[in-house]
Amino acid sequence: MSYYLGLLQLIGVHTLLGLSAYVLMLTGQLSLGQAGFFAIGAYSAGILTVIFELPILPALLAGALIAAFFAFLVGFPALRVKGLMLVVATIAFSEFVRLFFFNLSWRVPRGDIHVGPDSTNGFREIRYFVANGWSAWEITTFVWIFVILVMAALWWMDRSRAGAVLRAVGEDELAAQSAGINLTAVKVTAMTAGGFIAGIGGALYAHTATYVDHLTFTVLLATFAISYPILGGLSSVFGTLVAVIFIQGVLVEGLRFLGDWRNIVFGLLIIAAMNLKPSGLFDARTTLLLRRSVGLGGRE
Amino acid sequence: MLELRGLSKHFGGVKALDGLDLSVREGEIFGLIGPNGSGKSTAINLICGVYAESAGTVRFSGQVMNGKAPHERLRAGIARTFQNIRLFPNLTVWQNLWVAQNSPRDVAAQGFLSRWFGATRRTRRELAELLELADLGHKGDELASNLAFGEQRRLEFARAAAARPRLLLLDEPAAGMSRQEIEDLGGRIRGLRDSGVTILLVEHVMELVMGVTEQIAVLNFGKKIAFGTPGEVQRNEAVQEAYLGTSASDSGAAGEGA
Ligand SMILES: Nc1ncnc2c1ncn2[C@@H]1O[C@H](COP(=O)(O)OP(=O)(O)OP(=O)(O)O)[C@@H](O)[C@H]1O
Ligand SMILES: [Mg+2]
């Protein structure tokens, strides 16, 4: 049972990670910086519950806000680069963050041991849930409350004018500018929102895993982040959820026996999916069709 | 209302626009014509801020526009359409208009929340009116990419109008249209002008230009070679030469011009 609950928690956390990339991809930005924001959320929230002994909720919120702040800062230089250059620049950011935490040592005495990030040895004892006697069920529910909140907020945003504006920027920046949309504001806001969501994901991850180190936040994690919305499509947040369940639940777990070959199969699958259905599993047309067929109409 | 002084744009060695002086008066329909590659689209891109000028000034309602981004110029009142239609293809027709409601009046009238996350009754009504005007009333939920060519042109025109411009720059709005559609377009252009919008029309279809404009400037190789009423321009020898000197048949322009 606890194996499945653990998987459910992981799927929840990765859905948040995927959604953080989804928001950015709506504006046409492909970022591998999500691993960096996720790491910032994880370490910040962990430090707050472990070293400052804050309760989980304020720690999680603060972790998300700190990640959002860094995303905001990254958002401005990111405006000047597009496409592959943005991918490279954001990898550099994620790596910078990873190396920062690789070197971060901040140990404080707690009873007869020391706790806190211990550079290469990682950050252990992020034991808020265990220390407060949460059951695996309660932890899983806690994670999914945030997943559902974020999904609902994004789903609602998607059908509002804000969502249409993000998509307009993603479809044609020049036309969007000429229609009066402030590209800088829209892209930086999307980057900030993406950082916030990744930060929540990271904070939850650190506390469910109780242990993080710099190797948790490699380029592989950043690649996962973007492959969810790529595979799931940008028509709705549910595509990302379905993609996470498929990749984490079916591929990663189901193909565990393949060992390292798994990554190759994973790569091939992404390539195949992108070639067969470049707009993801559900494209705009399909969603509109589905929405109409259940009588919801197509408008906002 | 629009004053261009010595406006120039160089692309490497190409002088796409070379010292253009132009004044467009408030409330008029002003034609800007010229053979292919004469710099008309470049002029539009400079006026609305897509390109940075190499030299010269753009003044709109007395305000210098140099250095302002396209969205700032739109908010100042300059909207445009594109020579090759540029809609948001995977947004619905309705959304294409919705995202373009960026006039200061709309921003001021709506609170932050209703502007970004809601749609007030007034917004809905105004967008519905725009759709009706564009003859797209029944197509609001259609994806823009599913529209026929003529409908896409009408939607782009409506999107520009949704921003409540005071000056509208039209870059070959009649290209690829049937005679009937062109007549229809002429009506829309006049209608918009009658509601107080000044119009700068770039067009190769001479029957439209000659029919709706009050003044015309003619460009050739980035320079203004003639200026006057449609009648004057048609009789101008330099203009006739410019059009005959280039391939008159593919622009389809010299027919009435020469
Ligand atoms: N982005 C650019 N880079 C390089 N050269 C350009 C660019 N845009 C325009 N030009 C050149 O500038 C000149 C003027 O082009 P422009 O598009 O303004 O002409 P036009 O009058 O709109 O022509 P048409 O009637 O064919 O639309 C052409 O020689 C063109 O090749
Ligand atoms: Mg042109």
Residue A300: name the closest of B119, B160, B156 by CA: B119
Element (H, E) at B216: strand B215-220
B99 neighbors A176 (Cβ within 8 angstroms): yes
A80 pLDDT tier (thresholds 50, 70, 90): confident
The CA distance from B140 to B91, in Å, is: 10
Contacts of A172 in chain B (CB under 8 A): 86-88
pLDDT tens per residue across span A51-71? 999 999 999 999 999 999 999
Alpha carbons within 13 angstroms on the beta-carbon side of residue B87 total: 28
The CA distance from A250 to A266, in Å, is: 11
pLDDT tens per residue across span A132-151? 999 999 999 999 999 999 99
How large is the ipTM? Answer: 0.89
**What pLDDT score does B254 carry?**
41
A215 neighbors A221 (Cβ within 8 angstroms): no
pLDDT over 70, % of chain B: 95
B75, B115, B140 member nearest A161 (Cβ):
B115
Q: Please provide the average confidence, as pLDDT, over all residues in chain A.
A: 87
Side chain identity, residue B129:
E
**What pLDDT score does A113 carry?**
86
DSSP B145: G
A85 neighbors A60 (Cβ within 8 angstroms): no
Q: Cβ contact (<8 Å) for B99 and A157?
A: no
The CA distance from A102 to A36, in Å, is: 12
Instruction: Name B17's bridge partners.
Output: B9
Does B249 have pLDDT greater than 50? no
Q: What's the whole-number mean pLDDT along residues A204-209?
A: 96
Q: Which long-range contacts (CB under 8 A, 24 or more apart) does A107-111 make?
A: A108/A51
Residue A56: name the closest of A120, A117, A128 by CA: A128
Contacts of B75 in chain A (CB under 8 A): 180
Alpha helices in chain B (DSSP H): 40-47, 70-76, 93-98, 104-109, 112-116, 121-133, 149-162, 179-194, 206-212, 230-235, 237-245, 248-251, 254-257
B83 C-alpha to ligand 2 centroid (Å): 6
Chain A: nearest CA to B248, how far in angstroms?
31
Pocket of ligand 1 (CB under 6 A): B 11, 14, 16, 34, 36-42, 83
pLDDT tens per residue across span B131-183? 998 899 899 899 999 999 999 999 999 999 999 999 999 999 999 899 999 99
**What pLDDT score does A275 carry?**
67
Q: Cβ contact (<8 Å) for A160 and B117?
A: yes
Q: Cβ contact (<8 Å) for A160 and B118?
A: yes
Q: Please provide the average confidence, as pLDDT, over all residues in chain B.
A: 88
Angle between helices A237-244 and A219-232 (to 10 degrees): 120
Handedness of CA A253, A259, A260, A265 (dihedral sign): negative
**What pLDDT score does B109 carry?**
79
Residue A138 touches chain B, beta carbons under 8 Å = no
Residue B56: name the closest of B215, B242, B222 by CA: B222
The CA distance from A212 to A235, in Å, is: 33
DSSP A289: H
B256 pLDDT tier (thresholds 50, 70, 90): very low
| Domain chopping of chain A, boundaries | 2-219
pLDDT tens per residue across span A8-64? 999 999 999 999 999 999 998 888 999 999 999 999 999 999 999 999 999 999 999
pLDDT tens per residue across span B21-36? 999 999 999 999 999 9
**What pLDDT score does B252 carry?**
44
Does A119 have pLDDT greater than 90? no
Q: Cβ contact (<8 Å) for A175 and B88?
A: yes
Between chain A and chain B, the number of residue pairs with CB atoms below 8 A apart is 101
Lowest mean pLDDT among A230-234, A236-240, A255-259: A255-259
Residue A29: name the closest of A202, A248, A187, A203 by CA: A187
**DSSP strand pairing (A113-115 vs A108-110):** antiparallel
Q: Does residue A196 or residue B250 have the better pLDDT?
A: A196
Q: Cβ contact (<8 Å) for A171 and B71?
A: no
Q: What's the whole-number mean pLDDT along residues B45-62?
A: 93
Residue A157 touches chain B, beta carbons under 8 Å = yes
**What pLDDT score does B49 carry?**
94
Residue B106 touches chain A, beta carbons under 8 Å = no
Residue A162 touches chain B, beta carbons under 8 Å = yes
Does B253 have pLDDT greater than 50? no
Q: Does residue A234 or residue A36 have the better pLDDT?
A: A36
Q: Quick one: which atom of ligand 1 is closest to the CA of B222? A: 14
Residue B107 touches chain A, beta carbons under 8 Å = no
A156, A168, A299 member nearest B94 (Cβ):
A299
Q: 3-state DSSP call for residue B211? A: helix
**What pLDDT score does A274 carry?**
63
- Token pair 């970004």: residue: B116
Q: Cβ contact (<8 Å) for A178 and B88?
A: no
**What pLDDT score does A282 carry?**
58
Does A295 have pLDDT greater than 90? no
The CATH class of B1-77+165-258 is alpha beta
The CA distance from A246 to A269, in Å, is: 11
Q: 3-state DSSP call for residue B258? A: coil
Residue A167 touches chain B, beta carbons under 8 Å = yes
Q: Quick one: which atom of ligand 1 is closest to the CA of B17? A: 14
| Domain chopping of chain B, boundaries | 1-77+165-258, 88-164
**What pLDDT score does B247 carry?**
46
Neighbour-count burial for B137-148, b at 16+ CB within 10 Å, e otherwise: eebbbbbbeebe
